[in-house]
Amino acid sequence: MIVTADEVNRSFRGTLDLLNSRAEGLKSFDMSERGFWRSFTALWLTLPAYVVSLAFERLRLGLLQPDRSLLDNVWVDIVVAFGHVAGFVVLPVAMIWIARWFRLEKAYVPFVIVTNWISVIGMLVLSVPAMLMLVGWAPPGLASLFSLAFAIIVVRLQWFATKSTLGLASLPALGIVVFGILLNAVVASAMRGLLG
């Protein structure tokens, strides 16, 4: 069940509509059970973001050197891959119980589908400032500023999508988005703890 180019195009178009606060963008997503499982396979599209994360972690650990391969330390590769995948699935998994608790079971599948596509776009966009810093095109301060600006846009997009898919008011939707951010922070902290 590999995601098709047409589905990528429609889902990115739907995400762009949601970014512009147009709830009709939800119609662009495949909300079927097949679309649900395929939205998880969209993680493959974030492979460039994984490579940037891997390079960034190697730089942080002092392992990034011009004469060494990017994939020469299996432990670092596995831990960063684990963090990458866990960051993608942690909110959808946690939402199983939250959706049951708030009686939002019918909205769970659309929420996960849209969230997965937003995560794909978010991972790709948020990897750009780190990549610019790694190649020397942006100093760390400027890269951090870009990251903050992109993160605000992605959070706002996730907030509107959460509101639209779950049918929630603004504040509870923001609560779910903040919960997702906290879960990702826990995953990142665990990854860094494993790497030392």
Domain that holds residue 121: 46-194
pLDDT for the residue numbered 49 = 97
CB atoms within 10 A of CB 164: 21
As a whole number of angstroms, the longest Cα–Cα distance in the chain is 55
The residue-averaged pLDDT of 95-124 equals 96
pLDDT at 96 exceeding the cut of 90 = yes
pLDDT for the residue numbered 70 = 67
Q: Considering the domain boundaries, does residue 28 fall inside one?
A: no
pLDDT for the residue numbered 155 = 98
Token pair in block for residue 72: 């020469």
CA distance 159 to 114: 11
DSSP state of 28: G
pLDDT for the residue numbered 196 = 80
In terms of pLDDT, which residue wins out, 154 or 63?
154
Domains contained in the chain, number: 1
First and final C-alpha spacing in the chain: 36
Query: String of b and e for 62-93 (b: at least 16 CB within 10 Å)?
Result: eeeeeeeeeeebeebbebbeebbebbbebbbe
pLDDT for the residue numbered 97 = 95
Q: Considering the domain boundaries, does residue 11 fall inside one?
A: no
pLDDT at 141 exceeding the cut of 90 = yes
Q: Considering the domain boundaries, does residue 7 fall inside one?
A: no
Q: Considering the domain boundaries, does residue 145 fall inside one?
A: yes
pLDDT at 79 exceeding the cut of 80 = yes
Token pair in block for residue 92: 């959808």
pLDDT for the residue numbered 68 = 72
What average pLDDT does the chain have? Answer: 94
pLDDT for the residue numbered 87 = 95
